[in-house]
Structure 1
Amino acid sequence: MDTSTLSYAPAAARGAAAPLPRPAAKRSPGFWRAPFDGSTYREIGYTLASLPIAVGGFTFAVTGFSVGVSTATTPVGLPVLAGTLGGARRLGALERRRVRAQLRRETPEPAAPPAVRESGWWARVRARLADGAGWKALLFQTVMFPWRVASFCVSLTFVATGWALALLPAYSWVFPHYVGWPGYRIYDYTSHGEHHQFYLSSPAEIAGTSLLGLAIVFLMPKLVHALTSVDRAAVRGMLG
């Protein structure tokens, strides 16, 4: 038996079995640091930018699908529907890039469109209509529209309200000096001849309001992350 290879075989085996080093996963910011971390505001920016994108995508998807289906018995209908599916694929690619850039989540590319095995425009139309990924991308633009409207409203409300209340001690002096109010006005109206008003003017009221705002600010990152988790799952499940 040739023993000249025995000393090399274990080394080779060890080299083959050694796992490749994996990059360390980026840890999410802690509870106290999250309101000031860049990842939180990337997610907020994602939810805010999603509204105009969702409006455009929903309009495109519904209009293209409606026109294509309603004119399917004419020579125009199926080509319009095929073009709508192609456009939905491109919108899906835009969503994957947004998720990669702002949410730091990689999404695999969908399957390629079916190959065109015949020549002519009708063969290309049929191949596009058989594209399952295109149909899922079209569905994504439709079903995600109401969710993104809700995400926009919730994110903007919590961000604006939280910081406005938390920073009230820094600008409460503006109201008596420049607005003519004794403090921040909660309500001021007259009903049935009786005047009702409430202003945040005392130090205790201002401090309590600021503490409430800070609570909202520190809970905001968890809320926004939960909202964007739905987008991550939807993009991976319907556009990947």
Structure 2
Amino acid sequence: MTDTVRERADRLSAAKTIIRQAGAVALDYFERYDMLEVQSKRTAQDLFSEADTNVERLIRTAIAEQFPCDGLVGEEYGKQEGTSTWQWVIDPIDGTSCFLHGLPTWCVVIAVLENGVPVLGLTYDACRDHLYWAALGEGAWRNDARIRVHPRAVIADGLTAIGGSNAVYSAQLGGIIERLLAAGGSYMRNGSTALTLAHVAAGHYVGYFQPLLNSWDCLAGLLLVSEAGGVTKDFMADTGLYGRGDVFACAPQVATELEEIVGSTASPR
């Protein structure tokens, strides 16, 4: 085993433990969601609570103890430079609005980059104890079972997820949904980008599109879809790690049709 392979395996093992520990803490907060103090960030739709900040702090502390030279990027506490070739990208609770309204469509998310390339992606659905994870070149998994995108479903008989929480894109998203319905598709939204991408990887949704997302929302899930045999847009090609960009992911047989429905905003690469 080479040093790089060993280092990746060590981080995967640690990430699985850390994300489950974080999920247990998040689940404890979720069970008393109506008692949490809620605050907003940029907009009234962008919410957070002490659950978000405390869970991210737990994850950061665990990573720093085991891999002190690695860099960190998180939704709540931003960037921490490292000196190694490894960088962790974390979202303590993806789907915070659902979380804060008592809906179980939220998750804890960790992606690990090596030399700027996503090589590990983990999404933990704590409410169902489903750990979705992928390692570059090794496939995608839910707990110990291999998962794959749907092999046959098309737009007309599958479920397609379309997300959006920014008013700038409201008219555009309306047009996308109108074209999807005209094509005979069904429109879904569960409120968590990472969990939606995991469901594309597992074959529940046939595809997913959402504009203006951050890296911590999607890098883990995009690796899941890719390793499950799906088609994805290279999120960082246009925006890098710190910009906001579009997420496009689907089963390969619907890529062309979904690209036409979405329009010029996104195309698979």
Normalised by the size of structure 1, how large is the TM-score? 0.29
Structure of higher CA gyration radius? 1
The structure where helix makes up a greater share of residues is 1
Normalised by the size of structure 2, how large is the TM-score? 0.27
The structure where strand makes up a greater share of residues is 2
Query: Using CA pairs below 8 Å that are at least 6 residues apart, which structure has the higher relative contact order?
Result: 1
